[in-house]
Amino acid sequence: MSTILKGREWWTAMTGEHRPWLRGRSARQLSIAILTWLAVSAIFTGGLLSQRVDVRVGDLAPRTVYAPYGVIDWGATERAREAAAAHVSPVYTVDGNVFVHAQKELTDQFSLISSLSHDTAAPMAEREAVAEQDVPIGLPPINWAQVLTLPAPQLDLLEQYASVILSYVMGPGANGIHNTSRGLKTAQLYASDVAAVEEPDPGLRLFLTDLSKSLISANTFINRTDTKERRQLAASEVQLVKILKGETVLVQGQRVTPNDIRVLREVGLLEDGVNPAPYVGSVLLSAMLIGLLSAYLWFQRRRLLQEDSQIAFTGAILVLSLIASLLLSGISAVTYLVVPTAAIMVAVLYDSGLGIVLAGVLSLAATILTGAGTTVGLVSFLGAVAGVLGVKRLSQRFDILWAGVAVGVVTLLSLLGLDLMQGASLVEPLVWQGLVFGLVDGLLAAALAGGLLQLVEVPLGLVTAMKLIELSNPNQPLLRKLLVGAPGTYHHSIMVGNLAEAATEAVGGNSLLARVGAYYHDIGKTNRPYFFVDNQFGGDNPHDNLSPTLSAIIISSHVREGIELARQHHLPDAIVQFIREHHGTTLISYFYQKAVSIDTGDGVVEEDFRYEGPRPQSKETAIVMLADASEATCRTLKHPTPQGIEQVVRRLINERLQDGQLDESDLTLKDLDTVARTFTRVLTGIFYQRVEYPERVLREIEKNPPPDDHAPRGH
């Protein structure tokens, strides 16, 4: 009894509750744990039910079924062996006795013909009859009469021709004649061709052709013993056909074969009746997993239990991740995607330790649920741990991408190590395919986690769409300062933002980021607004009393001062990039030319009149650079026309391109053409005034180009 009381005192001390010890927050948290347990149990049960299929031989498959793990497909292996054996060509053997017999018969026939030719005492008709009977080649009597009157040398020559024909088509070294009509026909055609070449006399040519054809016969036959041995060897070399994890076992609508039934039974997908044991096991396993996660929170991270929403969201991530694992289990390319994504989200939102524990629980559960091997569970867990460690000090939007690189590299190296341990060959394409998938999945996990994190609207230091919308509010301190202190620059920035947004959207970039970046790109001008033509409004120009070098320093300093203001107001780095890169390393040409014109011989260093840069590193910052120059220059046109505006825009883009300012951005030449057309359309709508003589305006523009955007009245 005392032991029980001590146990209750311990529990009360641990929970901080008094009897009844289940009330308030504890009851809600227990309810969340029970709901999560029931949901996970339902997922496991649903996974078992969804994978099995009740079919018999001859049935039509009700759905497509995928293998949860790899097995040998003996039926497909046998079919592959039969196909390999059938692909082996028959082995032919040449019978040399056929040629010997043909040559002997040729000699006997010419001996008979020679004897008949010399028997001049017998009437010709009698000799012709004997020849037709003993040499039955179908030769007409008139031709026999011609042959029987030939002198001996000419008969010998005809015999030689016939012997050559036989040797070529039937003799040693010849290809032989297959026992087919095609083979015999080919040989006989050759005999006709040789006779036509060697014997000019038509009658004798007919005799030589008919005699040769009569002696030609098939001498090449199938060697059944050798053919059988070669086909057996080819069949034995066929590798076992394996059904890999995720590969199709049944195709919906196709007839079920005995081999399909055998494969289904081997992979455990054939429904053989109701067996409650797997479902009871699912409930127990789910309870163990949820209990492990709850125990970690209770004993190690109790501070996280202060908010019910955190517990509920963690449970939701676990449940949704298991559902995703089940739905995507047949796609090998995303095998290692779900666990790192969930772990990164939990680590960023709440706690790195909780992210690692969730990764362990989820990798174990997903492996069992999908029927994947231990390799998948281990590699998924290692990749998730790398992702958690990668986002431990998340400070800017690119950090989560580096976490994805860490996940991909760890996944790739883990797979490579396990493959080498298991004796896998690195020359196999499937091995490298798995390694590439592991690397890509790591990058996708970070991208997916980053996208999902935006939905929960938690301040993470990332530039989400909501953050950008917040920064675009005119009531933002820096924008109000720009409006009050430098109204001309404010109006210019709004116009640049509209241009950049339209052009960035046209080339497939982040249009919202471009617009907001444009709003802030010139905030450095608020320190000395009247040194910039945007805010002079026709008044005195302070640069008239300054040296070109000092003017260039003042003009270029608005970039550095803008960066300082952005840092002071904690603008995201993505916005600071627009301030830093919107001029790149371009030349402040007006003051440079002015310095050159008044140079006394000391020389002018061009680098002293260039912005510090860097050049634009992205589509968005490059487009803002082009929009900044285009809007400022087109605003100085006295008689803007669509043609004139387009000419100015394309000239400015070409200058930036030739100067190398766009080399480090992602803009292509096709993108630049799209940007030019978009700028022209938007600027035409803003500045175009219909004039009576547009040709004269164009000539004026060509003769007197618009002033540079860095001139004292155009910079």
Where do we find the tokens 């013909």? 113
Answer whether residue 1 is part of any domain: no
Percent helix, strand and coil across the chain, each rounded to 5? Answer: 70, 5, 30
Q: Is 138 in the same domain as 117?
A: yes
DSSP 137: S
Domains identified in the chain, total number: 4
Residue 315: CB partners within 8 Å, gap ≥ 6? 32, 33, 35, 36, 39
Of the candidates 694, 711, 690, the one whose C-alpha atom is nearest the C-alpha of residue 588 is 711
Residues contacting residue 201 through CB under 8 Å, at least 6 positions apart: 146
Residues 533, 453 share a domain = no
Highest mean pLDDT among 106-110, 265-269, 323-327, 612-616: 612-616
> Does residue 381 lie in a domain region?
yes
Q: How far apart are CA 189 and CA 200, in angstroms?
A: 17
Q: Which two tokens stand for residue 427?
A: 């020359």
Looking at 462, 479, 512, the residue that finishes a domain is 462
N residues, the chain: 715
Residue 611 neighbours by CB distance under 10 Å: 23
Within a domain: 177? yes
Residue 161 and residue 126 in one domain: yes
Q: Is residue 641 part of a domain?
A: yes
Q: What is the pLDDT of residues 408-457, one digit of tens each?
A: 888 788 777 776 776 665 666 666 676 777 778 778 887 788 777 767 65
Of these ranges, 185-189, 245-249, 504-508, the one predicted with the greatest mean pLDDT is: 504-508
Parent domain of 693: 467-703
User: What single-letter DSSP state applies at residue 328?
Assistant: T
CATH of the domain at 590: 1.10.3210.10
pLDDT confidence of residue 12 = 45
What is the predicted pLDDT for the residue at 465?
54
What percentage of the chain carries pLDDT values higher than 70? 79
Predicted local distance difference test score (pLDDT) of residue 13: 43
What is the C-alpha to C-alpha distance for residues 430 and 446, in angstroms, rounded to an integer? Answer: 25
Question: 159, 194, 222 — which closes off a domain?
Answer: 222
Give the per-residue pLDDT at 252.
Answer: 82
Which distant-in-sequence residues (6+ apart) come within 8 Å of 646 by Cβ? 676, 680
Strand partners, 610: 587
Provide the 3-class DSSP secondary structure of residue 587: strand
- Residue 23, C-beta contacts closer than 8 angstroms, at least 6 positions apart: 17
Quick check: is 688 in a domain? yes
Identify the residue with better confidence: 508 or 575.
Answer: 575
Does residue 59 sit in the same domain as residue 98? no
pLDDT at 681: 92
- Looking at the fold, whether 453 and 517 belong to one and the same domain comes out as no
pLDDT digits 0-9 by tens, 147-173: 777 787 877 787 787 777 777 777 776
Residue with tokens 């003009």: 555
Specify whether 316 is located in the same domain as 193.
no
Shortest CA distance to 710 belongs to which of 529, 534, 494?
534
pLDDT at 6: 43
Asked if 333 and 480 sit in the same domain, the reply is no
Q: What is the average per-residue pLDDT within 283-296?
A: 82
pLDDT tens for 647-679 read: 999 999 999 999 999 998 878 999 999 999 999
Q: Are residues 493 and 458 in the same domain?
A: no
Mean pLDDT, residues 611-629 taken together: 91
Cα–Cα distance between 188 and 182 in angstroms, integer?
Answer: 10
Tell me the C-alpha distance between 520 and 507, whole Å.
22
Which pLDDT score is estimated for 150?
A: 79
| Same structural domain, 423 and 481 | no
471 and 411 within one domain? no
Q: Which range has highest mean pLDDT (12-21, 41-50, 297-306, 552-561)?
A: 552-561
Closest CA to 591 of 574, 605, 575, 570: 605
Residue 555 confidence (pLDDT): 85
Which of 266, 301, 327 corresponds to the end of one domain? 266
Helices (H), 457-582: 465-471, 477-485, 487-506, 511-520, 548-568, 573-581
Give the tens place of pLDDT for each residue, 299-353: 877 766 766 666 777 888 888 888 887 777 656 545 578 888 888 888 877 777 8
Specify whether 255 is located in the same domain as 294.
no
For the CA atoms of 458, 459, 462, 468, the dihedral, rounded to the nearest 10 degrees, stands at: 90
> Which residues pair with residue 72 across a beta bridge?
242
In degrees and rounded to multiples of 5, residue 686 shows phi and psi of -90, -50
State CA 560 to chain mean position distance: 41
The verdict on 444 and 569 lying in the same domain is: no
The pLDDT of residue 314 = 81
Nearest to 78 by CA among 264, 236, 230: 236
Whether the per-residue pLDDT at 624 is higher than 90: the answer is yes
Give percent above pLDDT 90 in the chain.
12
CB < 8 Å & 24+ apart, contacts of 285-289: 285/44, 285/365, 285/368, 286/37, 286/40, 286/41, 286/44, 287/37, 287/41, 289/40, 289/361, 289/364, 289/365
Nearest to 581 by CA among 670, 632, 517, 634: 517
Q: What is the per-residue pLDDT across 35-77, written as a single tens digit (0 to 9) for each? A: 888 888 787 777 666 667 767 788 887 777 777 656 677 777 8
Mean pLDDT of the chain: 77
Residue scoring higher pLDDT (440 or 698): 440
Which has the minimum average pLDDT: 276-285, 374-383, 592-601? 276-285
| pLDDT for res 272 | 63
Q: Which pLDDT score, from 0 to 100, does residue 708 have?
A: 47
Pick the more confident residue, 626 or 265. 626
Q: Indicate whether 32 belongs to any domain.
A: no
Residue 185, domain member (yes or no): yes
Q: Are 492 and 498 in contact (CB under 8 A)?
A: no
Whether residue 334 lies inside any domain: the answer is yes
Q: Distance between CA atoms of 250 and 65, rounded to whole angstroms?
A: 5
